[in-house]
Amino acid sequence: MFNQLNLKASDFGNDFLWGVVTAAAQNEGAAKIGGRGPSIWDEFARKVGKIKSGHQPTVACDFYHRYKDDLLLVKALGFRVFRFSISWSRILPEGTGKVNPEGILFYHQVIDECLQLGLIPFVTLYHWDLPLALEKQGGWTSTHMLKWFTRYVQVCVKEFGDKVKHWIVLNEPMGFTSLGYMIGKHAPGKIGLSNFLPAVHNAVMAQAEGGRIIRTHVSGAVIGTSFSCSEIIPFTQSEKDRAAAKRIDILLNRLFIEPALGLGYPSDDFLLMDKLYLHNKAWKYKERMHFDFDFIGLQNYFPVVVKYNAMIPIIQATDVSAKRRKQPVTDMGWEINPNSFYNIIEQFAAYKGVKKIIISESGAYFKDKLVAGVINDQQRIDYYQQFLQALLKAQKNKLPVAGYFAWTLMDNFEWSEGYHAKFGLVHVDFTTQLRTVKASGHWFRQFLAQ
Ligand code: NOJ
């Protein structure tokens, strides 16, 4: 493990991008305000038992009304980049059709405020909040998805493309297709391969198409898309465990990037891939899965240790939990492993087509204690220091890392965990909306100032 070294942002060079991240569904609130249409998360959260304690995303951090103060905080902490997402149903309440002028105005205001403060607005087009109207017509499983997404992206880039040059097309496609369409833990709560496989293919097509639309309409655009990723480690060196690890690597790491790079879907011997091809057979324009991204965003929270398990259909693998392996974990139960963070960066950097890597999210949930107005979240500081140390090593070893964005600016709506899981550098009191910078936020300020 890494020592607590005296890290400085300047060690990474002047061009390195330091950012902090939020997402519309997790931060904005104002679910029924400003002409916004409902998203799949509004509907999903209303269903009993889906979100811890029945928490709702309706108000969240009220970023919709407080963006000016929140952006001042981003500035005060010393970040250069503010990554945020656009809520599709705020722009197009029905997902397609009529544009909502109030939604357009809101994002113009956020972007203008960023620019005035000297922050780079870094826009994610899709961070999991599909308009409910589209889900009612099949959502990501529908063959119309590409058409709907095209329209949405065109509206956004034509409106904001003069001011916004940095774009991330999709946030973690593996995240929303698997959690939302395979195991039903996230919105829209669908399950099974017959939902997952078409959702995967439509997301693969959308990420490339989104890139092309931005390239066409935005001069000087810097275009990326973000992937969740995890180093996959076989539990033992047995042939069966290693083969199981290879299957999970395809699923968690390779499924979305390889088609984007023009390599097609991974064609290794894996039943799931055969099924994906079967689902795909009738679909056209496979060459359109490829787009020449300027950078890729990587989001790594934990490694996955895998062992063979004949009982699990198709995948035939299960993970061996960090707890069972007696490894240190965050309060999410996710293994803290900066070496594995390094390894996964190395794995993605090895693709020929990857030009630049931005760590587009990185952070941790620990149970914070607010004592006399102070949150001393030393564990989070340690976490960031260890991960930044690994990142510096990656940079020294000439891996093309160009930025690091902390997840997240402030405690927010953590999907099915509700407001329980707190990843913020800033604490939010969800009754009063009072913001309190945590020790980790102060640590970042000092680190970035050096
Ligand atoms: C990845 C997702 O993009 C983000 O929305 C989420 O809150 C974090 N991981 C933490 O789970």
Per-residue pLDDT tens digits for 304-358: 999 999 999 999 999 999 999 999 999 999 999 999 999 999 999 999 999 999 9
Question: Ligand 1, atom 10: nearest CA belongs to which residue?
Answer: 414
Mean pLDDT on 251-258: 98
Tokens found for residue 8: 């400085």
| pLDDT digit string, tens, across residues 381-423 | 999 999 999 999 999 999 999 999 999 999 999 999 999 999 9
Please tell me the distance between residue 301's alpha carbon and the centre of ligand 1 in angstroms: 9
Specify the ligand 1 atom closest to the Cα of 23. 5
CA–CA dist 304, 264 (Å, integer)? 24
Contacts of 169 (CB under 8 A, 6+ apart): 125, 126, 153, 206, 207, 210, 211, 214, 223, 224, 225
The pick from 87, 228, 414, 416 for probing ligand 1's pocket by mutation, whose C-beta has the most ligand atoms within 8 angstroms, reads 414
| Cβ 258 under 6 angstroms from ligand 1 | no
Helix (H, G, I), strand (E, B) or coil at 293: coil
Which residue, among 144, 142, 221, has the nearest Cα to 188 in the 3D structure?
Answer: 142
CA–CA dist 290, 169 (Å, integer)? 13
Q: Which residues are known catalytic residues?
A: 172, 361
pLDDT surpassing 50 at residue 217 = yes
Judged by average pLDDT, the poorest of 174-178, 196-200, 276-280 is 276-280
The predicted structure's pLDDT at residue 6: 81
| Cβ 172 under 6 angstroms from ligand 1 | yes
Task: Answer for the pair 419, 411: CB distance below 8 angstroms, yes or no.
Answer: yes
The Cβ of residue 99 has, within 10 Å, a number of other Cβ atoms equal to 14
Specify the ligand 1 atom closest to the Cα of 128. 5
Q: What is the DSSP string of 35-95?
A: TPPPBHHHHHHHSTTSSGGG--SSSTT-HHHHHHHHHHHHHHHT-SEEEEE--HHHHSTTS
The predicted structure's pLDDT at residue 287: 82
Mean pLDDT on 365-384: 97
| pLDDT digit string, tens, across residues 264-299 | 999 888 999 999 888 776 565 678 999 999 999 999
Mean pLDDT on 355-363: 99
pLDDT surpassing 60 at residue 121 = yes
The predicted structure's pLDDT at residue 285: 65
DSSP structural state of residue 235: S
| Cβ 414 under 6 angstroms from ligand 1 | yes
**Which residues make beta-bridge pairs with 298?**
227, 359
Please tell me the distance between residue 283's alpha carbon and the centre of ligand 1 in angstroms: 31
pLDDT surpassing 60 at residue 2 = no
Specify the ligand 1 atom closest to the Cα of 226. 3
Please tell me the distance between residue 77's alpha carbon and the centre of ligand 1 in angstroms: 21
Specify the ligand 1 atom closest to the Cα of 228. 1
The predicted structure's pLDDT at residue 4: 56
The predicted structure's pLDDT at residue 284: 58
Contacts of 64 (CB under 8 A, 6+ apart): 28, 29, 30, 33, 34, 106
The predicted structure's pLDDT at residue 3: 37
| Cβ 23 under 6 angstroms from ligand 1 | yes
